[in-house]
Amino acid sequence: MSQIETIRLILRPFVKTDMEALCFDGKQPSWLQSVAVEMYDIEKPCASYTIQLKSSNTVIGHIFAGKKPELNNELEMGYYIAEKYQNNGYATEAGKAMIWWAFEKAGQDALSAVILPANKASRRVIEKLGFIYGGTKRLTYHVVEHEFDYFRLYHIARFPGPEWSDIRSLYKMYPLEPMGAFFNSRADGYNAVVGTGMYDYEKFGSCFPETDEKIQILNVGCGTGIELEHIWKQAPNAHITCLDLSRGMLDLLEKNHPGDQGRITVVEASYLDWAYPKEAFDIVTSHATMHHFFPEEKTGVYRKILGTLKPNGSYIEGDFILGDDLLAKQYRQRHEAITEGLTEKEKASGDYHVDIPLTLNVQMKLLQEAGFGSVKILADETKFDGSRVILEAKK
């Protein structure tokens, strides 16, 4: 754990001799001894920093991150700035440095924070840092149980250094690109990126029913067609209609399957507004694409998919699913920041590439609301940022 510098502050590793320096106005923060000293004994990752001013080397506070048993060992961030130095933005500046350390140096996926409801100033700092409110938690404080406000921040953006701007500006570093242009520009390297562990295409293909029948399959948002060979292992006589709005992706799909032209039909169109033929397909499938749309848009697509399925047909979906409502809220916050300036219609039209993944419960509920008779999980592979879930919805 090395020293961190910001514009005005130095965060240096806490040492036991700092206890005297951290006495302000003849008193010490009541929690400091238990937190600062015990950091030496708790499970890593952890950090305990003394905060001092660059200009004078004056010690003004303390900041830490450590696993909190009462929060299922989540990594908790906490801080204290001496009263005479408060209201100068020091807590926010130190907090940014700690977030950067936790995410970019310690490789953590999330940080938690708990604040007594009466501490309005601390709440403003935490919200300014991008933490999402997650209700209340009852925790012991001064040997007595208190109700705390609970917050969570996930590592869904890159923090370039210990001094970064506000969270919305950080999200805006991600370019806003039209959906078709986004995939056209990445077509050549797409297979190398998503085909090496981000998604398990072999597992996805194995979820299709084994059959020698000449079934009809519609693959919406097919991209370069990585999954086709895995689907044909299960259904070798299937004819697959490949629907995508990216000409670049479809060109690669055709190039990669020169001997399969009789088994595929390529359609260049957006699956949001394509004219789906009625009861034409035994199976409709999508993979790693539905997380680009809001719930209301998904429901509209699901209804179209339901209508294009034959009786007793099924929809098989593999996608990026979140395991936490707070993480879903943070993605929503990120989406709002990136799309700021667009009209509401443009934000919801699917014209731009911005991820807006949902939780599993919400995803399954949308399929049921669209009219599917049953929805079940075929596979669920947990990743650091959520899960890769494969669902089957029956007509």
- Paired tokens of 205: 């293909």
Q: How confident is the model at residue 2 (pLDDT cuts 50, 70, 90)?
A: confident
Bridge partners of residue 9, in order along the sequence: 53
pLDDT, residue 42, reads 47
What pLDDT shows up at residue 33?
Answer: 55
DSSP single-letter state for residue 178: B
Q: What is the DSSP letter of 384?
A: T
pLDDT band at residue 15, thresholds of 50, 70 and 90? confident
CB atoms within 10 A of CB 237: 11
Tokens of 228: 């086709």
- Which tokens sit at 386? 């959520």
Give the integer Cα–Cα distance in Å for 167 and 131.
9
Output the CATH code of domain 4-171: 3.40.630.30
Instruction: Say what the pLDDT of residue 239 is.
Output: 98
Residue 89 has pLDDT above 70, yes or no: yes
Residue type, 236: P
Position 344 confidence tier, pLDDT thresholds 50, 70, 90: confident
Does position 26 have pLDDT exceeding 60, yes or no?
A: no
Which runs of consecutive H residues, i.e. helices, occur in the chain? 18-21, 32, 38, 90-100, 120-128, 167-171, 179-194, 201-206, 228-234, 247-256, 295-308, 325-338, 344-348, 360-369
What single DSSP character describes residue 352?
B
Predicted local distance difference test score (pLDDT) of residue 142: 65
For 253-286, give the secondary structure using H, E and C. HHHHCHHHHHHEEEEECCCCCCCCCCCCEEEEEE
Q: For residue 179, what are the CA distances in angstroms to 119, 150, 249, 270?
A: 44, 36, 12, 10
In this structure, are strands 239-244 and 216-220 parallel, antiparallel, or unpaired? parallel
Residues 194-233, buried b or exposed e (16+ Cβ, 10 A)?
Answer: beeeebbbeebbbbbeeeeeebbbbbbbbbbbbbbebbbe
Sequence-ordered list of residues with C-beta below 8 angstroms from that of 230, at least 6 positions apart, any chain: 201, 202, 204, 205, 206
The residue with tokens 């395991």 is 323
Nearest to 189 by CA among 248, 257, 241, 230: 248
pLDDT range class, residue 188, cuts 50, 70, 90: confident
Task: Using a pLDDT cut of 90, give the percent of the chain over it.
Answer: 64
DSSP conformational letter for 342: S
Domain ranges of the chain: 4-171, 179-394
For residue 111, how far is the Cα from the chain centroid? 14
C-alpha distance from residue 216 to each of 206, 209, 357 (Å)? 17, 13, 29
Residue from 364, 305, 294 nearest 331 by CA: 294
> What SS3 state is found at 243?
strand
C-alpha–C-alpha distance, residues 350 and 344, integer Å: 11
Tokens of 347: 């934000």
Q: What are the phi and psi torsion angles at 255 (to 5°)?
A: -65, -40
- How much is the pLDDT for 17? 76
Q: CA-CA distance, 137 to 192, in Å (whole number)?
A: 44
Model's pTM, two decimal places? Answer: 0.85
Q: Give the model confidence (pLDDT) of 261-300 as tens digits.
A: 899 999 999 999 999 999 999 999 999 899 988 898 899 9
**Nearest Cα to Cα of residue 391 among 305, 279, 316:** 316
pLDDT tens per residue across span 93-127: 999 999 999 999 999 999 999 999 999 999 999 99
Residues 105, 383: Cα–Cα separation, whole Å: 20
- For residues 278 and 308, the answer to whether their CB atoms sit within 8 Å is yes
In this prediction, residue 40 carries a pLDDT of 45
Q: Round to whole Å and give the CA distance between 36 and 51.
A: 12
Report whether the peptide linkage leading into residue 45 is cis, meaning its omega lies within 30 degrees of zero: yes
Cα–Cα separations (whole angstroms), residue 184 to 177, 274, 327: 11, 19, 29
- Note the CATH architecture for domain 179-394: 3-Layer(aba) Sandwich (3.40)
Rama region for 383: left / alpha / beta (φ>0; ψ in -120 to 50; rest): beta
Q: Are 201 and 227 in contact (CB under 8 A)?
A: yes
Is-contact 16 46, C-beta < 8 A?
no
What's the average model confidence in pLDDT over 370-378?
96
Alpha-carbon distance of 153 to 329, in angstroms, equals: 10
In this prediction, residues 336-342 reach a mean pLDDT of: 89
Q: pLDDT at position 41, please?
A: 46
Tell me the average pLDDT of the chain.
88
